[in-house]
Amino acid sequence: MYIDEWFETDFYKKLPLGYHQHFSFGQFFRTHAYYPHENLELWRPVPDPDEPTKTIASQFQIEPAGADAFRRGIPLGSPKLETNEEFLVVRASILRLDELQSVFTGNLEPSQFALGDEPASILRGQIQYLITKTGPSSYTELRELLLNS
């Protein structure tokens, strides 16, 4: 069993007006994410011998970032990509809930959605467990259920 199979309904809830001024526990935000440069990978176009302008790409492959990263010789017209831009390979683009993350609140774009009551309770239990290593909580109970199923 996976966690998304556990929650059938009410995983999200819509917040009332004022959500952008008064943050709620479990509220979703958008922010800039740091991509570690030590393992930077790029989606690069696969050369197409039938496309003479080299500005249209329909197939891509993952490549490690080389010396020419963000310094391409020719821009792409389709999809649009300037010579100083790259398509980054992002394997995990969401801040992980099993690690505590710090983000400057000025960089947060609040959304009008938050975790539902049950998922928020599990997240609280997870934070409690990460900080204090104590339980039981709804998080430790669900963790044991998932690990043993």
- Position 40 scores a pLDDT of 84
Q: For the sheet containing 60-64, what is the strand order? A: 60-64, 41-45, 87-88
- Confidence band, pLDDT 50/70/90 cuts, at residue 142: confident
- Position 148 scores a pLDDT of 86
Domain extent listing, the chain: 3-27+105-147, 34-92
Task: Quote the CA–CA distance of 120 and 23 in Å, as a whole number.
Answer: 14
CB-based contacts of 75: which residues, under 8 Å, 6+ apart? 55, 81, 82, 83
User: Tens digits of per-residue pLDDT, 4-34?
Assistant: 677 777 888 999 999 988 899 999 988 876 6
- Confidence band, pLDDT 50/70/90 cuts, at residue 126: confident
Per-residue tokens: 34: 């740091």
41-61 average pLDDT score: 91
Does the pLDDT of residue 35 top 70, yes or no?
A: no
Q: What does pLDDT average to over the chain?
A: 84
- Position 6 scores a pLDDT of 72
pTM: 0.53
User: Tens digits of per-residue pLDDT, 81-109?
Assistant: 999 999 888 765 655 555 556 777 888 89
The share of the chain scoring above pLDDT 90, in percent, equals: 34
Task: Quote the CA–CA distance of 121 and 123 in Å, as a whole number.
Answer: 5
Does the pLDDT of residue 75 top 70, yes or no?
A: yes
Does the pLDDT of residue 127 top 70, yes or no?
A: yes
Q: How many CB atoms lie within 10 A of CB 135?
A: 14
Instruction: Say which DSSP state 81 is in.
Output: B
